[in-house]
Amino acid sequence: MPALDQLDQLVTKAFDGYVVRKDLAQKFKGNYAVPTYVAEFLIGKYCATTDEEEIKEGLEIVQRQLSERIVRAGEQELYKANAKVHGIVKVIDLITARLDVRSDTFLATIPSLLLNDVHINSDLVYEHERMLTGGFYAEVELAYGDPESNRPFSLERLRPIQLSKRGVLQDVARGRKEMTTQEWKDFLIRSVGIEPSSLSARAQDVLFLRMVPFVEKGYNMIELGPRGTGKSYLYQQISPYSHLVSGGKATVAKMFVNNANGQRGLVCQYDVVCFDEVSGISFDQKDGVNIMKGYMESGEFSRGRESIRAEGGIVMLGNFDVDVEHQQRIGHLFGPMPKEIRDDTAFMDRIHSYAPGWDYPKIHPDMMTEHYGLVSDFLSEAWRQLRSESRLHLISDRVFFGDALSGRDRRAVHKTVNGLLKILYPSSEMEIEDDQLEWVVRIALECRRRVKEQQKRIGSAEFRNTMFSYRLGMDGIEQYVSTPELHSDSEISPDPLPPGQVWAIGPGEANEGSGLYKIEVTVTPGSSIRLVNVRAPFGLKESLRAAEQVLYTQNKMLIGDRDPHGNEYSVQVRALSAAKGASSIGIPILLALSSAALGRSIKGGVVIAGTMSVGGTIEPVYNALDMAEMAADNGASAILLPVSSRKQLNDMSDDLASRLTVVYYKDSRDALYKVLGE
């Protein structure tokens, strides 16, 4: 047995009777053709303890029940014979049912026994309607002979493999209050069988996104990425309330409603309907995609005269045949989708989040946890009950989104935020910490923006504004959220940088040519301006000294009533090209200092060039054309240059002029005015 760590000791007390060692279920994986939650259902009954002897005894019971009740290949006739001899036999299997119109009775299917004509009482069917739309795992009692129907077998009793306990959410909330948010995150990751230390922060974000469809009604998500990363694991192994559709045709009757008998489809019977290997999915009817789009938008669909509402979310999973960078070069990130929808921007607009599956590692046995986690059916029941709750009213006056978000964008972001907050805070009475709120908001904006970026790439002008932003609090600084896969660290993004950061171009040392730099200014209590760079070149020190003097002498024109001596400004200059001299970049440093003092971002996609004397006189730039070419090559949409360099750019090529806007300034105040967009 692995040694109990501090988190194990905490959770076994906080969730007494509801936790199991997650490695125990792995002992049976592969030996029996059932999902993980089936084994955990039994383990939770007999092994929910830390006592090693009790665990050993419980495992023997679980082993016996699984071996006695799960039919292996080739044993079906033996079980049927035992039913004839003893009158009844107990099995664990995926139970489905159908209406036989000829006899006007319901017939159940037990796949492991190769039986598809087992008589079942209609009351039992209507009590568990999911057996009509895909079925569920259950413990069943199969009787031999049925005098009423003249069928050889009848299904007498069944017990679904799931927890039906009204107070489950209260028990989860009670235990959660005894844990920090980080402990709770680690515990949730262990509860789905993964050891948190095996995942990077980005991979953990993906895993939490996979949980959102279970707690948020009508949540539509897509995740594409490399093979072998366990994308479908959560939807297939953890919860009985999700249904996996693997490739092939998705019939309208199965998904929504069967017009022949009025039977509701998968979206009405399950919390999550997951399409695995989505590239191979196709609908049996031409209007199947339109019905899907309508449902994903409004949560209802019409077949015949009746309008039907449902709450099941749609999750689409698929694989890239190439890496994400190459996928973007050859097309867009919806490329692996079926041809009916891969270029349909209206369909994409219904997707609430696009999870970056490429940030999740390939599953390896070493990633599986040996520690305690919640029993899967207990966790899935808690998630199901959270679907009826909301946390948005708790943050309505704490988060404000930028103007770039459309109505659909806001709804999508709200649903992701709400889902993640419910996962983190299962009780509405818990205080939502600022850092966790910001983490949730940034994930939600990034995953919705990823959808919009693909729509823009397809060429729709209506989706061109993708600069998603937010503010925490009425007086908060506007922060912009990007999608990391679109831009490298040295590429000038069209998104505004945080206050205090600017892109700069300046001449290098002798024969170096121009260099690209990123200037970052942080503000802390104090009363000075200091350069963080160790062994800074002389030219950089001179640029900082000039910027410092101009800020102090012209502070009224630049930053208004703010006192430049009221804080300490730490300046770091990072070279992002071969040139390292960083000389003659006084204007970019001054604008970075002013941006930090004002708490405001400058325009996105702008790179700044130029310097000045300590008295504020703008000095000439002698290689403006070289700077303009470097700016365009690194993704800039505009370059800010002294007006004295205007004649140098008369020789700018038509191609360069079409890619880059040149903005001229006459003095430092004019430069700041133009980069702030005022």
Range list of β-strands (E), 402-500: 469-472, 479-480
392: left (phi over 0), alpha (psi -120 to 50) or beta: alpha
Counting Cβ atoms within 10 Å, is residue 434 exposed (0-12), middle (13-18) or buried (19+)? exposed
The residue that leads in pLDDT, 284 or 586, is 586
Helices of type H across 192-241: 201-215, 233
- The tokens of 532 are what? 């963080």
Q: Which residues contact 560 (CB under 8 A, 6 or more apart)?
A: none
Residue 624 near residue 609, CB atoms below 8 Å: yes
pLDDT at 263: 78
Task: Kindly indicate the confidence band of residue 636, based on its pLDDT and cuts at 50, 70 and 90.
Answer: very high
Residue 483 near residue 494, CB atoms below 8 Å: no
Rounded Cα distance, 582 and 572, in Å: 11
Residue 352 near residue 416, CB atoms below 8 Å: yes
Rounded Cα distance, 619 and 598, in Å: 25
Residue of 610, 605, 588, 593 lying closest to 507 (CA atoms): 610
Whole-angstrom distance between the N-terminal and C-terminal Cα of the chain? 66
Q: How far is CA 665 from the centre of its chain?
A: 43
Other beta carbons within 10 angstroms of residue 420's beta carbon come to 25
Amino acid letter at 189? I
Amino acid letter at 623? N
The secondary element (H helix, E strand) that includes residue 53 is helix 52-69
- Kindly report which listed range (52-56, 442-446, 562-566) carries the lowest average pLDDT score: 52-56
Rounded Cα distance, 413 and 401, in Å: 10
Query: Which pLDDT tens digit goes with each residue over 272-285?
Result: 999 998 887 777 66
Give buried/exposed letters for 616-640 (b at 16+ CB in 10 A, else e): bebeebebbbebbbbbbebbbbbbb
Rounded Cα distance, 161 and 200, in Å: 33
3-state secondary structure 384-413: HHHCCCCCHHHCCCCEEECCCCCHHHHHHH
pLDDT at 178: 94
DSSP code at position 194: B
Query: Which pLDDT tens digit goes with each residue over 331-381?
Result: 788 888 888 888 888 899 999 999 999 999 999 989 999 899 998 888 988
Can you tell me whether residue 237 is helix, strand or coil?
helix
* Mean pLDDT of all residues in 59-68: 85
Task: Kindly indicate the confidence band of residue 191, based on its pLDDT and cuts at 50, 70 and 90.
Answer: very high
**DSSP string spanning 94-157?**
EEEEEEETTTTEEEEEEGGGTEEEEEE-HHHHHHTGGGGTT-EEEEEEEEEEETTTTEEEEEEE
CA angle, 666 then 671 then 674, to 5°? 115
pLDDT at 390: 95
DSSP code at position 486: G
Residue 416 near residue 444, CB atoms below 8 Å: yes
The residue that leads in pLDDT, 664 or 237, is 664
* Mean pLDDT of all residues in 256-274: 85
**Sign of the CA dihedral with 603 first, then 607, 610, and 613 last:** positive
pLDDT at 473 over 60: yes
C-alpha distances in Å from residue 115, one per residue of 97, 150, 157: 11, 15, 16
* Mean pLDDT of all residues in 172-189: 95
pLDDT at 339: 84
pLDDT at 678: 54
pLDDT at 487 over 70: no
Counting Cβ atoms within 10 Å, is residue 242 exposed (0-12), middle (13-18) or buried (19+)? buried
Rounded Cα distance, 206 and 199, in Å: 10
Rounded Cα distance, 547 and 543, in Å: 6
Task: Kindly indicate the confidence band of residue 475, based on its pLDDT and cuts at 50, 70 and 90.
Answer: confident
pLDDT at 208 over 60: yes
- The tokens of 277 are what? 């290997």
pLDDT at 329 over 80: no
Give the CA dihedral 322, 328, 334, 335, nearest 10 degrees. -60
Rounded Cα distance, 342 and 455, in Å: 10
Tokens 């770039």 belong to which residue?
404
Task: Kindly indicate the confidence band of residue 501, based on its pLDDT and cuts at 50, 70 and 90.
Answer: very high
- Kindly report which listed range (97-106, 115-124, 484-493) carries the lowest average pLDDT score: 484-493
Residue of 603, 589, 590, 621 lying closest to 518 (CA atoms): 589
Residue 434 near residue 472, CB atoms below 8 Å: yes
Residue 335: phi and psi, rounded to 5, are -55, -40
